[in-house]
Amino acid sequence: MLLRLDFKADIVPRLLFLKEIGVEDSRFGYIITHNPFILTENLENLQARVNFLKSRKFSSETVASMVSRAPYLLNFSVKRLDNRLGFYQEQIKLSASNTRSLVARLPRLLCGSLEPVKENLKVCEIELGFKGNEIQHIVIAVPKVLTANKRKLTQIFDFLHNNMKVPHYLIAKFPQVLNTKYLRLRERHLFLEYLGKAQYDPTLPGYISLDRLVSLPDEPFCMLNMASRAPVATGRLMLGFRKWYYNMCGFNKLGLMRDDTIYEDSDVKEALRRLPEGIYNDRMFRIKRALDLSMKQQVLPKDLWTKYEEDIHYLSPYLDEVIRERKEKEEWMKK
């Protein structure tokens, strides 16, 4: 059907429409690549959907931003958009203003599947034990919780609540912590435990807020929590902690290096393809040996464990290069 479109009669009017509603030219490629069917939508229907959003008090700038970030948004009928807004307002007991804010920040909530949203709302209430007003506060502050991976969400909550002993009301007060990476949260908590500062109760001295725990970059976070120590002592402590944490992770006991454990997404697969043959073969040997040991529920003799000082980031330079090239390509495609 798309091949039958006439550039002047079909494509140009819809591009002009997007421009008229405030979408930047640089976003046209992204929108059409992800939703080419917008080029087949009736112009009157597209305008009616924009008018509907504006009638619900979404500003022109907000509508343009939502369309730019959620290419399928204008494929939805007015009735369906209205039903989606009503769903969030009713299910989470949001005011009209908070509903607008929610979908403006994460517009794919209006055009994505509702099943993950329904499931996550049940998970928050039944499995995680949050009250209705707490769920409401979490969702308003961090809309991504509604579409987050269920396993990741429960894993982070379990660590916060059962390992760090953080109560529900504090998690709800600083819900950004549910949107952080599990390993980042775990490493920082263990670091604070190592320093004897893992204290998250605001009523006690030495309180560490969850916001500070996850929002600060690594270096300021470490320096802030070791500010009372002399620089030399701080350096030794950091090195000691890194070695302790490295050994605690356990992969070195199987003879693996840190880069052997990186999840193989598309970027990592391309980086692996670029490795010199010898380095790649050494990696495969370590991984096969580790799998064999895991099957037998064994570890290597201690003298064969990978030492912290000997762990080389052999893959990282290639991975950095792949990611840099991908980002450059993405930026070029936006132009």
pLDDT of residue 157: 95
Q: What's the rounded Cα separation, in Å, for the pair 332 and 335?
A: 5
Helix and strand element counts for the chain (H, E): 17, 0
Residue 236 confidence (pLDDT):
63
- Strands (DSSP E) found in the chain: none
Does 250-335 match 1-106 at the fold level?
no
Res 208: pLDDT: 87
Q: Which residues contact 19 (CB under 8 A, 6 or more apart)?
A: 25
Domain residue extents for the chain: 1-106, 250-335
Q: What is the mean pLDDT of each run of 10 residues along the chain (335 residues)?
A: 75 92 91 90 94 95 94 93 95 94 94 92 95 94 93 93 94 93 86 84 87 79 58 58 74 91 88 94 94 90 90 91 87 67
Q: So what's the pLDDT on residue 334? A: 60
The predicted structure's pLDDT at residue 244: 72
Ranges of H-type helices in 58-181: 60-69, 78-91, 96-105, 115-122, 132-141, 150-158, 168-173
Pick the CATH number of 1-106 from 1.10.3470.10, 3.30.70.360, 1.25.70.10, 3.50.30.30: 1.25.70.10
Local structure of residue 316 (DSSP, 8 states): H
Q: CA separation (Å) from 113 to 37, 43, 121, 238?
A: 18, 25, 14, 45
pLDDT of residue 271: 94
Residue 162 φ then ψ, to 5°: -95, -30
How high is the pLDDT of residue 217? Answer: 77
pTM reported for the whole predicted model: 0.67
**CATH superfamily assigned to domain 250-335:** Cytochrome b-c1 complex subunit 7 (1.10.1090.10)
Residue 273: per-residue pLDDT: 94
Whole-number pLDDT of residue 219: 67
Helices 96-105 and 132-141 cross at an angle (nearest 10°) of: 50
